[in-house]
Chain A
Amino acid sequence: MTTVFRDTWWLTRRRLAIFLNQPGYLVVTLIQPAVWLFLFGNLFRRVVELPGFGVDNYLDYLVPGVLVMNALASSIWAGMGMLEEIERGTMNRLLTLPISRTAIMSAGLGEHAVASIVQSGIILGMGALGGATYPGGIVGMVILVASAILLGTAVASLSNALGMVAGERETIIGVNSFLLLPTTFLSSVFMAKDLMPGWIATVARFNPLDWAAQMGRSALSASPDWGLIATRGALLVVIAALALMVSVRTFRTYQRQV
């Protein structure tokens, strides 16, 4: 087990080195969350005036949602990095090293986790500048970021598996475009549950993005609902673990086509 962690550590450093070597991509990664926050914060500012929304300041409501949505939107493209590794031949090189297969997959996730933490910092900071308040304090923020990382882990794992199996960019782009917006809008990221059409509220109950949003929002609020945080957190842990298992198993499919 320690070897898995050690391999993951060195492979994550390797991924981050590659990431930092692409300045354009890096800049976009840092700016993107601020754009989300600014756009949606302004566009939907007045929804809090709807009776029954239950919040005075929309930014208070929006920041946790945008934070987890951003984790989804960036980690869903993880498969592209995987494809690039395959096309460049670096994946083959890694596979001939005596390192754990799990570590190869989780290193990609480690990279996303680090990016997620940095982006979360930016979103929380920008939100605060815009007037959002975080009564849940540091503990709330840590839980929020953890929920984003768990969600990102699940999504990035599946995206990696897809990249490995599909072997072409078009498939990833197609699947992501199809999933990204519906997943986001079939959740409580922008709109309070009580004000949604019933069917959307029902669908959202099964949406991992919604689990993460609820968990983070509650943790950051003045009176966290620990039961809700625990159940949503547990659900996220389970799907992240399952997704990682799926992605490690795809190595076998990959080996057949090498």
Chain B
Amino acid sequence: MTAREPRSPAVEARDLTKTYPRGVKALDGLTFEVAEGETFGLLGPNGAGKSTTIKILTTLAKADSGVARVVGQDVTRDPQEVRRRIGVCSPGFRAEPVGRGVGKLVAAGRLRRLDVVELRRRVSELLDRFGLADAASRKVRTYSGGMQRRLDIAMALVHRPRVLFLDEPTTGLDPEARTAMWQEIARLSRDVGMTVLLTTHYLEEADRLADRIAIVDRGRIVAEGTADQLKTELEGDGIDIELADATQAELARGVVASLPGIREVAVEQRRVTARAQDGAGAVPAALAALERAGIGVAAVSVTRPSLDDVYLRHTGRRFAEAALAASGGDA
């Protein structure tokens, strides 16, 4: 239907800044690109700037400076064209809890100016796909949280958008509904090949769903890449040695630190932690050295780095700490 410009990214944000009237700096030079067909995850705690980014890219808010393009269109120059090509699903953009499932989908299609025949087909297709066919004529108010969320996504997809914005898609859902939603989203990008821009403050969600992840901290992107790339960038696995005797901890630290290829050695009571390029290879040497020094070891483990480690590396804080700070401070 449309002539696609090759290689032009589906979503492009360059040097976005935004300060709210009360002086809260939401975005501070945020830059990223999302390729066509990709699922891209913006990961960060509340208040990091994710929602503001979504609002700017979906034409709702205006950036103070910087460029935002969606499907090649500047969001400030031709907002209506952008709106035609996107679907938005966000806790800040809810549909009113009035009416029945099928009616809401039809109304969403009407506002998208779909013709009646096409719309009828599309609505039943979406109801099937999101497991809402049986509940189609029930009042939305009686839907479970998961069903309402699925209906929201279905409404955002009624016009077959090129880019889907999924802002915090599983926030407030119980674990079961969350897992179901994850499968749904994964299927969406796999089967339809749609470009999805996902924001989340769940590490696991970003890890499972996103082809590429950008970590947002204080209005900037501090790291970007596939989950594996980000983890590999940490250069190495974590080694965790639990000593038999806590009094030997400092001694053990010296022994471990003197081994080649081992970095970032730290001690915490009976535990000695360190990083090594190849964790499994480094453990035997470490154990042998400790034994030679007469230090008893109770347990040892090697861990692949987690996204939380990635977050710590780039922001200097644990993800949970940042989330706590965000909920304690301003929203």
Q: Which residues of A contact B (CB under 8 A)?
A: 3, 6-7, 10-11, 13-14, 17-18, 21, 88-90, 92-93, 95-99, 255-258
Q: Is the CB of B83 within 8 A of A10?
A: no
How far does the alpha carbon of A7 sit from the alpha carbon of B96 in the complex, in Å?
A: 18
Query: Is residue B248 within 8 Å, beta carbon to beta carbon, of the partner chain?
Result: no
| A6 cross-chain contacts in B, Cβ below 8 A | 113
Q: Is the interface of A mostly helix, strand, loop or mixed?
A: helix
Q: Is the CB of B60 within 8 A of A10?
A: no
- Inter-chain CA distance A90–B60, complex, in Å, is 12
| A256–B93 touching, CB < 8 Å | no
Cα–Cα distance between A93 and B107 once the two chains are bound (Å) = 13
Closest 9 CB pairs of A and B: A98-B83, A93-B93, A89-B94, A258-B61, A92-B93, A98-B84, A96-B58, A21-B98, A96-B88
- CB atoms of B21 and A93 under 8 A apart: no
Closest CB of chain A to B170's CB: distance in Å? 17
Q: Does B185 have its Cβ within 8 Å of any Cβ on chain A?
A: no
B111 touches A10 (CB 8 A): yes
- The distance from the CB of A211 to the nearest CB of chain B, in whole angstroms, is 35
Q: With A and B bound together, what is the CA distance between A14 and B95 in angstroms?
A: 11
Distance between Cα atoms of A160 and B205 in the complex (Å): 39
Whether the Cβ atoms of B55 and A258 lie closer than 8 Å is yes
Contact A14 B21 (CB under 8 A): no
User: Of residues 20 to 78 in B, which have CB atoms within 8 Å of A's CB atoms?
Assistant: 20-21, 55, 58-62
Q: Quick one: closest A residue to B155, CB to CB?
A: A93
A95-B60 CB under 8 A given contacts A7-B111, A10-B111, A89-B91: yes
How many whole Å from B197's CB to the nearest CB in chain A? Answer: 13
Which residue of chain A has the shortest Cβ distance to B55 in the bound complex? Answer: A258
**Pairwise interchain contact A93-B86, C-beta atoms closer than 8 A:** no
Interface SS majority for chain B: loop
Q: Let me know if A18 and B96 touch, CB within 8 A.
A: yes
Complex contact B93–A96 (CB within 8 A): yes
A99 touches B111 (CB 8 A): yes
Q: How many A-B residue pairs have CB under 8 A?
A: 64
A89 to chain B, nearest CB (A): 4
Question: How many whole Å from B27's CB to the nearest CB in chain A?
Answer: 13
A100: min CB distance to chain B, Å: 9
Knowing A10-B107, A97-B111, the reply to whether A92 touches B60 (Cβ < 8 A) is: yes
Our pick among B60, B90, B99, B110 for the contact of A255 (Cβ within 8 Å) is B60
Instruction: List B90-120 residues whose CB lies under 8 Å from chain A.
Output: 90-96, 98-99, 107, 110-113
Distance between Cα atoms of A211 and B111 in the complex (Å): 37
Provide the bound-state CA to CA distance between A93 and B88, in Å: 8
Q: A96–B83 contact, CB under 8 A?
A: yes
A92 to B88: give the CA distance in the assembly, Å: 10
Q: Which one of A90, A256, A257 lies within 8 Å of B94 (CB-CB)?
A: A90
Query: Which A residue sits closest to B82, measured CB to CB?
Result: A98
Contact A96 B62 (CB under 8 A): no
Can you report 19 A-B residue pairs in the complex whose CB atoms are below 8 A from each other? A3-B113, A7-B111, A10-B107, A21-B99, A89-B90, A89-B92, A89-B94, A92-B55, A92-B60, A92-B90, A95-B59, A95-B60, A96-B58, A96-B86, A97-B83, A98-B80, A256-B61, A257-B21, A258-B55
Q: Are A92 and B111 in contact (CB under 8 A)?
A: no
A249 CB to nearest chain B CB (Å): 15
Cβ contacts under 8 Å, A13 to chain B: 107
Instruction: For A84, give the chain B residue with the smallest CB separation.
Output: B96
Docked complex Cα distance between A216 and B90 (Å): 47
Min C-beta distance of B74 to chain A, whole Å: 15
Q: In this complex, what residue of A is CB-closest to B61?
A: A258
Enumerate chain B residues within 8 angstroms of A10, measured Cβ to Cβ: 107, 110-111
Are A14 and B107 in contact, with the CB atoms below 8 A? yes
**CB–CB B98/A17 < 8 A:** yes
Say yes or no: A88-B62 contact (C-beta < 8 A), given A96-B86, A96-B88.
no
Q: Which residues of B contact A90 (CB under 8 A)?
A: 93-96
The residue of chain B having its C-beta at the shortest distance from the C-beta of A14 within the complex is: B107
Give A99's nearest chain B residue, CB to CB. Answer: B111
Report yes or no: B98 in contact with A96, Cβ–Cβ below 8 A. no
The interface residues of chain B lying within 8 Å CB-to-CB of A18 are: 96, 98
Given A10-B111, A99-B111; A93-B80 close (CB under 8 Å): no
**Complexed CA–CA distance, A200 and B112 (Å):** 51
- Indicate if the CB atoms of B21 and A258 lie closer than 8 Å: no
Which residues of the other chain, B, contact A14 by a CB distance below 8 angstroms? 107
Residues of A within 8 A of B111 (CB): 7, 10-11, 97, 99
B81 contacts which chain A residues (CB < 8 A)?
A: 98
The answer to whether A256 and B60 have CB atoms under 8 Å apart is no
Q: Whole-angstrom distance from the CB of A257 to the nearest CB of chain B? A: 6
Q: Which residues of A contact B59 (CB under 8 A)?
A: 95-96
**Which residue of A is nearest B99, CB measured?**
A17
Beyond A92-B90, A98-B81, A258-B60: 8 further Cβ-contacts under 8 Å? A3-B113, A88-B96, A89-B90, A89-B92, A95-B59, A96-B93, A255-B61, A258-B55
Chain A hits for B113, CB < 8 A: 3, 6
Most chain A CB neighbours (cut-off 10 Å) among B60, B61, B111:
B111
Inter-chain CA distance A243–B20, complex, in Å, is 28
CB-defined contacts of A7 to chain B, threshold 8 Å = 111
B107 touches A255 (CB 8 A): no
**Complex: chain B residue closest to A257, CB-CB:** B21
- List A contacts of B92 (CB < 8 A): 89, 92
A165 to chain B, nearest CB (A): 12
Interface string of B4-33 (1 = CB under 8 A from A): 000000000000000011000000000000
